[in-house]
Homo-oligomer: A and B are copies of this chain.
Amino acid sequence: MALSPLEVLRRVPLFESLPETELAHFAELTREKTYPKGSVILFENDRGDSLFLVASGQVKVVLIGEDGREVILSVLGPGSFFGEMALIDDSPRSAHVIAMEDSTLLVLRREDFQQRLRTSPEVAIGLLRELSRRLRRADEKIGSLVLLDVNGRVADLLLRAALEEGGDLIRRKLTHHTIAQMIGSSRETVSRTMRDFVERGLITVTRKDITIKDRSALLSAAGRS
């Protein structure tokens, strides 16, 4: 279970173009930290100067409203990174990051990373790719928040989640409450919506997973074709 930093780096898509020797060099610059479930890895508005790579576990990127309500911007697993924005410009952190499970992260200091950025265009381009992907997703999310009702947003989320796991099955750590926070809704409404999907045969739900049964019905609920 405990991978060495080098092994972790090898699994980060952002670095896949780097030669082994570079990677090993990089691994040297890395500091490993572990965070228990629920702990806050970084706070919105903090000034931060490090990049984090998820080695194991899972973290969520969240915004928190005045009243304490929480929006989940994204959930990141092994191989993903975060904290890159503070490296590129040097504005404060734009959101909180919280460990959803016990997690171990690799921490890279700003200078070390920026160096690589300037000297190896592959890394810069890889990073561009990833930011571009995230921006696209963020825009899609804005669209779904404005254009879709809760049914549509749930359908959309389920389809995306299934897609990410490459099939029709979502091995779930996905509680109704979590879903609600990801689509800007309430636990109760998500509960009712999913119940309805089950009754209409669009999905099945067991204790440990959710399965897409009728992809096209979900797609049309999600307003996409």
Interface assignment of A65: CB less than 8 Å from any CB of chain B = yes
Contact of A147 among B71, B84, B128, B139 (CB under 8 A): B71
Contact A139 B223 (CB under 8 A): no
| Interface residues of chain A: helix, strand, loop or mixed (majority) | helix
Q: A66-B223, A124-B121, A125-B124 are in contact. Are A85 and B147 (CB under 8 A)?
A: no
B residues less than 8 Å from A65 (CB atoms):
143, 146-148, 223
Q: A142-B73, A146-B184, A184-B146 are in contact. Are A89 and B129 (CB under 8 A)?
A: yes
User: Most B CB atoms within 10 A — which of A91, A118, A124, A146?
Assistant: A146
Copies of the protein in its oligomer = 2
Q: How far is the CB of A183 from chain B (nearest CB, A)?
A: 9
From A22-30, A50-58, A130-138, give the one contacting chain B: A130-138
Identify 20 residue pairs between A and B in the complex whose beta-carbon atoms are under 8 Å apart, listed by A's number: A63-B143, A65-B147, A69-B146, A71-B143, A71-B146, A85-B135, A88-B125, A89-B132, A94-B136, A117-B128, A118-B121, A124-B128, A128-B128, A131-B135, A134-B135, A138-B138, A138-B142, A142-B145, A142-B184, A145-B146
